[in-house]
A and B are shown apart, each in its own frame.
Chain A
Amino acid sequence: MKKLLACTAACFMLHVPNTMHAKPPASQPQTVTVYHDAKGFKLRVDGRDFFVRGMNWGYEPPGQNYSYSLWEKPEHFIVRVLDQQMGQLRAMGVNAIRQGPDIPPRWVQYIYEKFGIYTVVNHTVGRYGYKVDGVWFGATNYADPATRSALKKDIRAMVSRYKDTPGVLMYLLGNENNYGLHWSSFEIESLPEGQRDELRASFLYSLLGELMTEIKRADTRHPVSMANGDVQYIDLIAKYCPDMDVFGANVYRGMSSRDLFDVVRAKLNRPFYYTEFGADAFNAYESEEDDVAQARYLKSQWEEIYEHSYGKGRAGNAIGGFTFQWADGWWKYGQDHNLDEHDTTASWSNAGYPHDYVPGRNNMNEEWFGIAALSPPDLTGYAKTTPRTAYYVLRKAYQLDPYAETTNLTTVRNHFRLIDVDELRTQYGVDQADRRLTDIEKSVVANVRMDFDTYSVGGSRKPSTPRMALDFDHMESYFLDFRVRPAKSFEGYLSVNVLGNVAANKIDEIFYENRGAPQTVRNTEGQDVVLADRERIKVYRASFEWHEDYFDLEGYYRTGHYHWGYEGDFFGLYREANYPIGIDMYNAEAPFGMVLSARQALDGLKVAFGPQIYWGANPMILAKYHRSLSRHLDMALMYEEDIASQSGVTTSAVVPEPPTRKATAYVAFKTGGFKLEVGGIWAGSNKVGQRFLSARRASGPTYQNSGYEILTDEVAPIDTLGGKAKVTLEAGPVHWYAQGGYKGLVADGGVDGTVTFTGWSLREEGRGNQVNALTGVAFDAGPFQIAPNFVYQHPLQGPLPSIDDRFDTATGTYYPRVRPRDVLHDPFAVIENRKTIGYELMLVYDPTPDTWFWRWDSEEREDADFAGSLDFALRNHPTSRDALLGFDANNNMFAFPGAPPAANVWDVTAKFVCNPAANLHILGNAYTGQGQARGVDTRVVKRSGVETAVIYGRALFRGFAKFNDWGPYDYHRDYNLTYPYQFMGDLSYGVTKPRWFLPYTRVGIKGTYRVLDAFSPRYPYELTDTRHANEYEINTYLHVSL
């Protein structure tokens, strides 16, 4: 307080009318002080009164999220963004922005010198996790001495970096850290529930107080403040933060903050400013944009700030505020998916905004808080902002100088009374109409994609068909995407593919457009007929979303969906269904179905149903009820009923199994870093009573002298049951898990789609007929992670050997044949659940844990200069397995007559992402190891290869080199078809920066070259020949996409 009072009342007598954008000479850091007398508080910059007309500003275009950083972009792009958006802010009257400590000081100075806008530098003090000694902690432990020390070091570095920067207004610590006090420790857990948060808060605020003291010691020119969550723990703040100059808070109380200013004055006797406040521009009740309501809230809130400012006879401690926020954030709901969608889902509830508040329903739309609407980025990546009505309202409001000698409570009220929101809506109305016109146009045709390709093919191969022998062919494929929105709550999407010519000579002969290739069939007269125009037009993808008060209904046809593994599906019944390549390659009609998600009273209930809700699924209905019983306890129940058999599958990797029914139960207990999950499964009850054979090795007389005793048995009710338990424990840099399970012969679940800590490749297989145990530990050591993993699984009934049948004429005895089981003809089979003892060691280097290396889209998101992993896996298979299913040349499914023998196989895989320069992005994968065929071939393949993708500006190069590896299709592995060498290079140049997961306009050339031997398809010589043959393909293409 003494420091706050350093500026005396005499200072006030020298009051200079507020000059928002007046600038001192360049390259001079400002001296910012707090003035205080009986009339209240004011902020002063170099002795001049300064009323904070602040804005929470950031640039995060649609398609990006929190990991996006403008400051890492090329300078010309930063200048363009700043010049356009700071220009809009200055025209509005904004004189300060709030920025994280990643903003380079040169840009702080640039913004100040060019636009007169100051920057409040905001360190979040571990609000969203913090790295201590190289280890990332999701919940910052403010009681931990090492954490406190690291934060202090960080803050000192921040002050050192900015203190001499012109344009810095003050330092701001935290961002509602009081809402994120979740760490756990023995000290905390030993307290009664109600006292834990209070203790955590005392650690937080004592740290903030210490940080403020450090800042004051290091920089005497700039005040320090905090961004609290409302006025929670204000008594602790008063106790622990004596060096705080200004109290700041994020406050969302609606039209009025009521007694907030008085409480702050009474408890803290400090100046106050909002670090966040405002209203969203979306009416959740009406489900439509509501810029007028937003403007009314902000007008009211700013009027209240003015009334409580210095000398108005009220609290006198308001020095301004930072409106939340400048532009909409399209990433905020979901945060890492649907980033291109402006989501209208309300994510929290606040009765302070009664115009769209209904008890029990959310009304705050996190993606709509901008006072400027955001447009999708243009071809250069710039996302334009269109000011909403609130912009014009505040621009008018800011014209009143609160510190002018003539400004008093009456003039403030008159000033705001004369601001007519409806009248000021005109401009945004015009802009909005313009945008809606564009929307209407897009609602008809959302995208057009045109793929033009040529194929030049040759080599000494033996073409499979006469048409495949063509030296040159071409292909055209067109995609039309439609979006329809018959009601605000419903949006549909449809993509249709239209074929031009279909190339017949591609060396990769299975592809989406191949459905339209001419096909020869024999008619009833015995004559061959060529069908030249099959399926020229086909629905490529479709989806819809329907949001109502009581439910959400989402439909998908080949558009993909996530699994439910993180929401109680402990046995993987609802599988991940994002297939980037396979469904096009094999023309699969999957996933195809709908998901109904109940809301309100039945929140937690989901029902999925459809013809093929994941690839290979039978037509089924699947229901799940998941809910949290307390902070520590979750439960889920699931039920699946297969309605019919799936017939529409054309590749061996996704062979459907006979219909069945399943039910699971799941309970999870978690506290601190400990989590225990337990579940049970009941499945395959319709197989009870089905007979099966089993085999066991024996000495002495055996079945047909095979060395096996063969037994016949039947599936019993107990064989339908299974259970598993999993424990995870995270303590600082150590992450450990262990799990074990038992599954009866027919208690089949699905593959575990979740990721436990890291990207281990050895994981639990979902099939029944096994006992298993897994454990692994991941150690974090700075940017490194070392993660050994172990898997043991053992089938309850092992695989069957292959023994021919025989009739002994001497004894008149028939000995039936014994064959490996398969999933179509037997109640169960030993496949992925074959006996396995697996060892794995994963090494990861990722210096930027906020963009996690194991995310599915890390290729695009990973922002480290270099991140990589190395994985060693050894699988010991001491026994064989049963038979898999395959497809013959006529696409008829059959069971292979046997299986590869017992073998040990190992794999080493490496993956890296590299960003050596701003416009250079490099990805790579390398692998080497052994593998077995899926069919019956006994040859163990020793294969290796490297794959890479390089983005340089708008150019993209992809390539691979593979040695003694299988070809690209499932049948290659089924029949153990390998190539000695395979090379591919694909270079393209686009009109925009390449996008990993979406089509874009580009032109390119791709070359593929393969060397063939006797194990390769299309090998032209006798199989005993040792000569090599070859085949190559040159593909030129122009792909156009809006």
Chain B
Amino acid sequence: MMRHRLLSACLATLAACASGCEAPDAPEYVTGLQAESVQFHIFDTSQGIYPSDAVTRDPWNPFLLEPPSAEATWTISERGGTPLGFYAWATVLVGQPGGEPQYYTALKLRDAYALRLVPNEQLDTLKSMAVAAFQSVLDNFPDSVSYLADGTTTLLLAPLAYKEIKALGKTPTGPWVEVTAPDGSTTIARVSP
């Protein structure tokens, strides 16, 4: 590279000693990232759970340099597999906190648990992370919605998160109660303090 050609080895030695004696690595070409090459790791038990930003320090996160765009995130979420989908949503959640990225991050954690993407001894931890992520929707983004593919139909995310927690065998916390509608369907409601 140009800058390396322009200075003498003497300067390089001096600089290396001044700043930690580490030799620079050669630059690498940026090419596409194969989704299947991305593996899920538990770097921090708070990652993917608002307000933690641990995922932006996670060395396995392929979006460390640049978060994905909204369009790419949806595509990854649908077709990119669980690990890449998790890192995409969790990274978006840090940059743009909201119920939607929190909910889809939780879904990816749930899927990772279901697919047993971590060693057995970490499965309980992963399950707890998924529950905590759904609980974060209830606690931090109780009124948030998501849209179906038609772009107009909205989904309230809190009831979905509530049900996911129960599906994972846990009990949601907070001022939430399950109510049954006259048509027999169930939903949840927030109880005023």
Task: Please list the residues of chain A having a beta carbon within 8 angstroms of any beta carbon in chain B.
Answer: 682, 685, 688-689, 691, 693-694, 703, 709-714, 716-721, 742, 744-745, 771, 796-797, 804-809, 811-819
B-chain residues with CB within 8 Å of residue A720 when the two chains form the complex = 15, 18-19
What is the chain A residue whose CB lies nearest that of B26? A713
In the complex, what distance in Å separates the CA atom of A712 from the CA atom of B25? 10
Q: From known contacts A717-B20, A814-B80, infer whether A796 and B35 are also in contact, taking CB-CB under 8 Å.
A: no
In the complex, what distance in Å separates the CA atom of A805 from the CA atom of B62? 13
What is the chain A residue whose CB lies nearest that of B30? A710
**Cβ–Cβ contact B66 & A819, under 8 A:** yes
B-chain residues with CB within 8 Å of residue A796 when the two chains form the complex = 1-3, 6
Verify if B149 is at the interface (C-beta below 8 Å from A).
no
In the complex, what distance in Å separates the CA atom of A1027 from the CA atom of B29? 51
Q: From known contacts A709-B29, A812-B79, A816-B66, infer whether A688 and B7 are also in contact, taking CB-CB under 8 Å.
A: no
A-chain residues with CB within 8 Å of residue B3 when the two chains form the complex = 718-719, 744-745, 796-797
B-chain residues with CB within 8 Å of residue A815 when the two chains form the complex = 32-33
Residue from B1, B2, B18, B76 within 8 A of A682 (CB atoms): B18
A-chain residues with CB within 8 Å of residue B15 when the two chains form the complex = 682, 716-721, 744
In the complex, what distance in Å separates the CA atom of A182 from the CA atom of B59? 65
**Cβ–Cβ contact B30 & A805, under 8 A:** no
In the complex, what distance in Å separates the CA atom of A823 from the CA atom of B80? 32
In the complex, what distance in Å separates the CA atom of A712 from the CA atom of B19? 21
Verify if B14 is at the interface (C-beta below 8 Å from A).
yes
What would 12 A/B residue contacts be, using CB atoms closer than 8 Å?
A: A691-B65, A711-B28, A712-B65, A713-B1, A713-B28, A717-B15, A717-B24, A718-B16, A721-B7, A812-B35, A814-B84, A816-B62
Q: From known contacts A685-B19, A745-B3, A812-B34, infer whether A716 and B24 are also in contact, taking CB-CB under 8 Å.
A: yes
Verify if B180 is at the interface (C-beta below 8 Å from A).
no
**Cβ–Cβ contact A721 & B32, under 8 A:** no
- Closest Cβ of chain A to B69, distance in Å, is 5
In the complex, what distance in Å separates the CA atom of A808 from the CA atom of B22? 37
- Closest Cβ of chain A to B192, distance in Å, is 15
Q: A717-B16, A814-B84 are in contact. List 13 more A-B contacts (CB 8 A).
A: A685-B19, A691-B65, A710-B29, A710-B30, A712-B30, A712-B65, A717-B17, A718-B7, A812-B34, A812-B79, A814-B72, A816-B65, A817-B68
Verify if B12 is at the interface (C-beta below 8 Å from A).
yes
Q: Which 4 A-B pairs have CB atoms at the shortest separation, nearest pair first? A: A716-B24, A813-B32, A713-B27, A717-B19
**Cβ–Cβ contact A718 & B24, under 8 A:** yes
In the complex, what distance in Å separates the CA atom of A811 from the CA atom of B36? 10
In the complex, what distance in Å separates the CA atom of A745 from the CA atom of B36? 35
**Cβ–Cβ contact A688 & B22, under 8 A:** yes
In the complex, what distance in Å separates the CA atom of A685 from the CA atom of B3? 17
A-B pair number, CB within 8 angstroms? 129
Interface residues as binary, B75-87 with A (CB distance below 8 Å gives 1, 0 otherwise): 1100111001000
Q: From known contacts A711-B30, A720-B18, A808-B32, infer whether A814 and B76 are also in contact, taking CB-CB under 8 Å.
A: yes
In the complex, what distance in Å separates the CA atom of A717 from the CA atom of B16? 5
The residue in A714, A716, A807, A816 that gathers the most chain B C-beta atoms within 10 A of its C-beta is A807
**Cβ–Cβ contact A693 & B72, under 8 A:** no
What is the chain B residue whose CB lies nearest that of A745? B3
Task: Please list the residues of chain B having a beta carbon within 8 angstroms of any beta carbon in chain A.
Answer: 1-4, 6-7, 11-12, 14-25, 27-36, 62-66, 68-69, 72, 75-76, 79-81, 84
- Closest Cβ of chain B to A711, distance in Å, is 4
**Cβ–Cβ contact A694 & B12, under 8 A:** no
**Cβ–Cβ contact B14 & A721, under 8 A:** yes
**Cβ–Cβ contact A711 & B29, under 8 A:** yes
Residue from B4, B23, B69, B79 within 8 A of A805 (CB atoms): B69
In the complex, what distance in Å separates the CA atom of A714 from the CA atom of B3? 13
**Cβ–Cβ contact A717 & B22, under 8 A:** yes
- Closest Cβ of chain B to A383, distance in Å, is 57
In the complex, what distance in Å separates the CA atom of A691 from the CA atom of B75? 26
What is the chain A residue whose CB lies nearest that of B75? A807
In the complex, what distance in Å separates the CA atom of A714 from the CA atom of B27? 7
Residue from A688, A721, A807 within 8 A of B20 (CB atoms): A688
Residue from A719, A797, A805 within 8 A of B66 (CB atoms): A805
Residue from A688, A711, A811 within 8 A of B32 (CB atoms): A811
B-chain residues with CB within 8 Å of residue A694 when the two chains form the complex = 27
In the complex, what distance in Å separates the CA atom of A742 from the CA atom of B80? 45
What is the chain A residue whose CB lies nearest that of B84? A814
What is the chain A residue whose CB lies nearest that of B78? A809
A-chain residues with CB within 8 Å of residue B80 when the two chains form the complex = 807, 812, 814
What is the chain B residue whose CB lies nearest that of A695? B30
**Cβ–Cβ contact A805 & B72, under 8 A:** yes
What is the chain A residue whose CB lies nearest that of B35? A812
In the complex, what distance in Å separates the CA atom of A714 from the CA atom of B64? 13
**Cβ–Cβ contact A718 & B11, under 8 A:** yes
A-chain residues with CB within 8 Å of residue B35 when the two chains form the complex = 807, 812-814
In the complex, what distance in Å separates the CA atom of A709 from the CA atom of B29? 7
In the complex, what distance in Å separates the CA atom of A248 from the CA atom of B30? 82
**Cβ–Cβ contact A809 & B7, under 8 A:** no
What is the chain A residue whose CB lies nearest that of B65? A691
A-chain residues with CB within 8 Å of residue B2 when the two chains form the complex = 796
**Cβ–Cβ contact B63 & A711, under 8 A:** no
A-chain residues with CB within 8 Å of residue B14 when the two chains form the complex = 721
- Closest Cβ of chain A to B78, distance in Å, is 8
What is the chain B residue whose CB lies nearest that of A710? B30
B-chain residues with CB within 8 Å of residue A718 when the two chains form the complex = 3-4, 7, 11-12, 15-16, 24
Residue from A714, A805, A809, A811 within 8 A of B24 (CB atoms): A714
In the complex, what distance in Å separates the CA atom of A712 from the CA atom of B33? 13
- Closest Cβ of chain A to B15, distance in Å, is 4
- Closest Cβ of chain B to A876, distance in Å, is 20
B-chain residues with CB within 8 Å of residue A717 when the two chains form the complex = 12, 15-22, 24
In the complex, what distance in Å separates the CA atom of A718 from the CA atom of B11? 7
Residue from B21, B24, B30, B68 within 8 A of A703 (CB atoms): B30
Q: From known contacts A689-B22, A717-B22, A817-B66, infer whether A742 and B30 are also in contact, taking CB-CB under 8 Å.
A: no
**Cβ–Cβ contact A721 & B65, under 8 A:** no
**Cβ–Cβ contact B28 & A712, under 8 A:** yes
A-chain residues with CB within 8 Å of residue B64 when the two chains form the complex = 691
- Closest Cβ of chain B to A604, distance in Å, is 25
**Cβ–Cβ contact A806 & B30, under 8 A:** no
A-chain residues with CB within 8 Å of residue B16 when the two chains form the complex = 717-718
The residue in B15, B29, B63, B80 that gathers the most chain A C-beta atoms within 10 A of its C-beta is B15
- Closest Cβ of chain A to B28, distance in Å, is 5
In the complex, what distance in Å separates the CA atom of A691 from the CA atom of B11? 22
In the complex, what distance in Å separates the CA atom of A709 from the CA atom of B27? 12
In the complex, what distance in Å separates the CA atom of A797 from the CA atom of B4? 11
B-chain residues with CB within 8 Å of residue A812 when the two chains form the complex = 34-36, 79-81
**Cβ–Cβ contact A816 & B19, under 8 A:** no
**Cβ–Cβ contact B7 & A817, under 8 A:** no
In the complex, what distance in Å separates the CA atom of A519 from the CA atom of B66? 37
In the complex, what distance in Å separates the CA atom of A813 from the CA atom of B36? 9
A-chain residues with CB within 8 Å of residue B32 when the two chains form the complex = 808, 811, 813-815
- Closest Cβ of chain A to B24, distance in Å, is 3
B-chain residues with CB within 8 Å of residue A817 when the two chains form the complex = 66, 68-69, 72
B-chain residues with CB within 8 Å of residue A771 when the two chains form the complex = 6
In the complex, what distance in Å separates the CA atom of A508 from the CA atom of B71? 40
**Cβ–Cβ contact A807 & B76, under 8 A:** yes
What is the chain B residue whose CB lies nearest that of A806? B72
In the complex, what distance in Å separates the CA atom of A720 from the CA atom of B14? 11
What is the chain B residue whose CB lies nearest that of A819? B66
- Closest Cβ of chain B to A701, distance in Å, is 10
B-chain residues with CB within 8 Å of residue A809 when the two chains form the complex = 75, 79
A-chain residues with CB within 8 Å of residue B76 when the two chains form the complex = 807, 814
In the complex, what distance in Å separates the CA atom of A318 from the CA atom of B144? 101
In the complex, what distance in Å separates the CA atom of A811 from the CA atom of B2? 35
The residue in A710, A718, A805 that gathers the most chain B C-beta atoms within 10 A of its C-beta is A718
B-chain residues with CB within 8 Å of residue A806 when the two chains form the complex = 72
B-chain residues with CB within 8 Å of residue A745 when the two chains form the complex = 3
**Cβ–Cβ contact B33 & A814, under 8 A:** yes
B-chain residues with CB within 8 Å of residue A819 when the two chains form the complex = 66
- Closest Cβ of chain A to B1, distance in Å, is 8
